[in-house]
Amino acid sequence: MVSALLAVNRWPSVYPMRKILIGFALFLTACSQGVAAPDIGQSRTICSDVFCIDVPEGWDGEVGDTFVALNHVSDPDNTFLTVGVIDQEAIVTGAGGTWPAQTEDVARAFWSLLEASDVGSFTRSQRMVGGAVRSWGDHETGPMWHVVYLTGGSSAIGVELRGPNDSWESHADIVLESIRKR
């Protein structure tokens, strides 16, 4: 049978195409875990007593005096947006560091606590205009984006957005870049 296929020169030309198609299918499967983020249309401002953030359409949930907890309506089980007041000193010392510490060290300590619990891993961080630190990593549920926004002393605002895949970074960009004290 194989010799018959080779004799008519069909197998050599079809086999590489099959490999390419199978590889492409595996690539698409790996890249399409979870619901893709919807396009960003309008955004709205949500404020607690302490901070305000801009949120793209579709995020809904609870707004308290010092926190926000939202999920996106297109995938509420796999999208999480939380904003709240955090104690930087507690994060740093909880991760085994010493206080006072630079904001970059606070962000890294946050990720090290997730890593110690086997629920997350740090990828990179970047200082933002104004002194906040944005970081990227993975949570056990998918990619995660985080910001430590300074408010004074040991207090800060922590913003965390998790999605099922990297397409949600556009939503994280809107939220994480909009955090401001009230």
- pLDDT tens digits along 41-58: 999 999 999 999 999 999
- Read off the pTM: 0.82
* Residue 60 shares a structural domain with residue 8: no
* Residue 80 shares a structural domain with residue 20: no
% of the chain surpassing 90 pLDDT: 81
Q: What is the mean pLDDT of the chain?
A: 88
In a domain, 36, yes or no: no
* Residue 86 shares a structural domain with residue 117: yes
* Residue 141 shares a structural domain with residue 177: yes
Q: Show the beta-strand stretches assigned E in the chain.
A: 43-47, 51-56, 59-63, 67-72, 80-87, 120-127, 133-139, 142-152, 155-162, 180-181
3-state SS, residue 102 = coil
Report which of 116, 163, 118 is spatially closest to residue 136, judged by C-alpha positions: 163
Domain range for 72 is 43-181
Tell whether the model's pLDDT for residue 167 goes beyond 70: yes
* Residue 81 shares a structural domain with residue 170: yes
The confidence band for 122, taking pLDDT boundaries of 50, 70 and 90, is: very high
Helix, strand, coil proportions of the chain in percent (round to 5)?
Answer: 35, 35, 30
* Residue 72 shares a structural domain with residue 123: yes
Q: How many CB atoms lie within 10 A of CB 153?
A: 10
* Residue 27 shares a structural domain with residue 49: no
Residue whose structure tokens are 């809904």: 60
Report whether 67 contacts 55 (CB < 8 A).
no
* Residue 26 shares a structural domain with residue 50: no
* Residue 109 shares a structural domain with residue 131: yes
* Residue 76 shares a structural domain with residue 159: yes
Read off the pLDDT of residues 32-43 as tens digits, 9 standing for 90 and up: 589 999 999 999
Q: Cis peptide before 56, with omega less than 30 degrees from 0?
A: no
